[in-house]
Amino acid sequence: MPLCDPDRLFPVEPKCRDLARALYQSVADAPIISPHGHCDPRWFAENERFPNPAELFVIPDHYVFRMLVSQGVPMADLGVPRVDGGAVEVDPREIWRRFAAGYHLFRGTPSAMWLDHSFEFVFGVSEVLGPENAEAIYDQVEAKLSSPEYRPRALFDQFNIELLATTEGALDDLRWHKQIADSGWTGRVVTTYRPDAVVDPEFEGFKDNVALFGDITGEDTQSWAGYLNAHRKRRAFFKKFGTTASDHGHLTARTENLSESDAEALFVKVLSGHFSPEEADAFRGQMLTEMAKMSLDDGLTLQIHAGSRRNHSARVFQQFGRDKGFDIPGQTDYVASLKPLLDVVGMEPNLTVILFTLDETVYSRELAPLAGAYPALKLGPPWWFFDSYEGIRRFREATTETCGFYNTAGFNDDTRAFCSIPARHDVSRRSDCAYLATLVATGRLREAEAFEVAHDLAYGLAKTAYNL
């Protein structure tokens, strides 16, 4: 019996299910476009084997370990590295056993679906992971990982990835991308310009970062004009490594449209280190507008990932640092927040600003009405907690009626879990096809249209939105 139901995520009514299956089959083999994610480019540069099953599936994946933690497993027992020097479990088999012991916790979650998909289709596992078979499955995965077919580049090809975008900071030297480019390997791995460390005055080491930014670019980043020029140069540098987009992970979606002199004064203030949280927020908001204006010149798509309250647990942050599953969404306004930016660039037909949210209440109330009016706006796919069957269903049901399909931007996997990429795109394609089949079955879309739209959602829209 397969781990994954061949008809998973399709509607239950037989005729509607048949149509969903047919739609899915028409896109199941389309190449994967992964225009936003967090894979490590070093994997593809060096093409070393992945160390062991625990390092591949548990230790780096906060989707996975936070669920075990939520049920009382200490984070250190799962091998998650500490920033405070404390000890953590180092035996990958022991970590794997703890993972297997809690595998039932994932029932009904997308994590279970992604993991089972990886186990079955990447590693040939045919039983549900649990305490009894933990060792055997560990051995099976480990054996595969040691073979050449499971090196990163081989998996990249096996996964049928046409393009994979990683994300690097503005100060990154892109050495791994350079090494990939120099290697002659034909896999298309591009980077994304993510300047948070030099844009967010509250980022650790902001002042030093801006100084280093000047060194790297040869611009006087202590002046507003020089600082902006440094961004322009750095964006151009990133474009040499295939970048077609920038990305911005802000607490809010706030934007500003300050006068030249006010912006300059604010820059001086935040650089001085003596600024209020409000001023820091205003500066981040001004920088979104500056980035959008640069995009008018250099064509980069602008991504806004807003609304995550990072590092909610003080204790976890202190012991384990960032990105440990304790980032919690909060209410996020887009209507007032985006108005300054939209008054500058919103009506530009040749700019693409992609909006992401962790607050589903804005889909129908704010995002779809905005994207259904402003030419510059597109809606990104359901993000993070909402990259799931129900998340995708709610997104489509709440947005399509107002902004249609063509103001959305296709799928992102947004992951650092490499083996989950095919699984995530598969869930997305199945969920979208289930939605389309339901539209056809209820007379809201014609069957021939559904086949066209299915392909656009799985492949075409991502290429358009990211200028690929």
Of residues 113-132, those binding a copy of itself (CB under 8 A):
113, 128
Candidates 152-160, 275-283, 296-304, 326-334; binding stretch for a copy of itself (CB under 8 A): 326-334
Residue 11 as a binder of a copy of itself (CB under 8 A): the answer is yes
The correct pick among 37, 391, 410, 422 for binding a copy of itself (CB under 8 A) is 391
Q: Which residue, 229 or 313, is less far from a copy of itself as judged by CB?
A: 313
Cα–Cα distance, 340 to 287 (Å, whole number):
12
Q: Which residue, 421 or 440, is less far from a copy of itself as judged by CB?
A: 440
Residue 358 as a binder of a copy of itself (CB under 8 A): the answer is yes
The correct pick among 326, 356, 411, 451 for binding a copy of itself (CB under 8 A) is 326
Residue 369 as a binder of a copy of itself (CB under 8 A): the answer is yes
- Please check whether residue 249 is in contact with residue 333, taking contact to mean a CB–CB distance below 8 angstroms: no
The correct pick among 33, 59, 69, 122 for binding a copy of itself (CB under 8 A) is 69
CA angle at 132 for the pair 127 and 137, rounded to the nearest 5°: 50
Of residues 254-293, those binding a copy of itself (CB under 8 A):
none
Q: Report the nearest approach of a copy of itself to the CB of residue 103 (Å).
A: 11
Q: Which residue, 226 or 369, is less far from a copy of itself as judged by CB?
A: 369
Cα–Cα distance, 97 to 106 (Å, whole number):
15
Residue 183 as a binder of a copy of itself (CB under 8 A): the answer is no
C-alpha distances in angstroms, 392 versus 166, 381, 397, 422, 441? Answer: 23, 8, 8, 17, 19
Q: Report the nearest approach of a copy of itself to the CB of residue 220 (Å).
A: 34
Residue 184 as a binder of a copy of itself (CB under 8 A): the answer is no
Q: Report the nearest approach of a copy of itself to the CB of residue 343 (Å).
A: 5
Residue 341 as a binder of a copy of itself (CB under 8 A): the answer is no
Residue 15 as a binder of a copy of itself (CB under 8 A): the answer is yes
Cα–Cα distance, 391 to 406 (Å, whole number):
19
Residue 22 as a binder of a copy of itself (CB under 8 A): the answer is no
The size of the interface with a copy of itself (CB under 8 A), counted in residues, is: 91
Candidates 146-154, 200-208, 342-350, 411-419; binding stretch for a copy of itself (CB under 8 A): 342-350
Q: Report the nearest approach of a copy of itself to the CB of residue 31 (Å).
A: 24
Q: Report the nearest approach of a copy of itself to the CB of residue 237 (Å).
A: 30
The correct pick among 85, 108, 184, 273 for binding a copy of itself (CB under 8 A) is 108
The correct pick among 35, 79, 110, 214 for binding a copy of itself (CB under 8 A) is 110
Cα–Cα distance, 413 to 33 (Å, whole number):
9
Q: Report the nearest approach of a copy of itself to the CB of residue 79 (Å).
A: 18
- Please check whether residue 47 is in contact with residue 424, taking contact to mean a CB–CB distance below 8 angstroms: no
Q: Which residue, 274 or 315, is less far from a copy of itself as judged by CB?
A: 315
Residue 457 as a binder of a copy of itself (CB under 8 A): the answer is no
Binding mask 396-435 for a copy of itself (x = CB under 8 A): -xx-xxxxxxxx----------------------------
Binding mask 433-452 for a copy of itself (x = CB under 8 A): -----xx-xxxxxx--x---
Q: Which residue, 175 or 310, is less far from a copy of itself as judged by CB?
A: 310
The correct pick among 39, 377, 423, 458 for binding a copy of itself (CB under 8 A) is 377
Q: Which residue, 34 or 319, is less far from a copy of itself as judged by CB?
A: 319
Cα–Cα distance, 125 to 100 (Å, whole number):
14
- Residue 57, Cα to own-chain centre: how many angstroms? 17
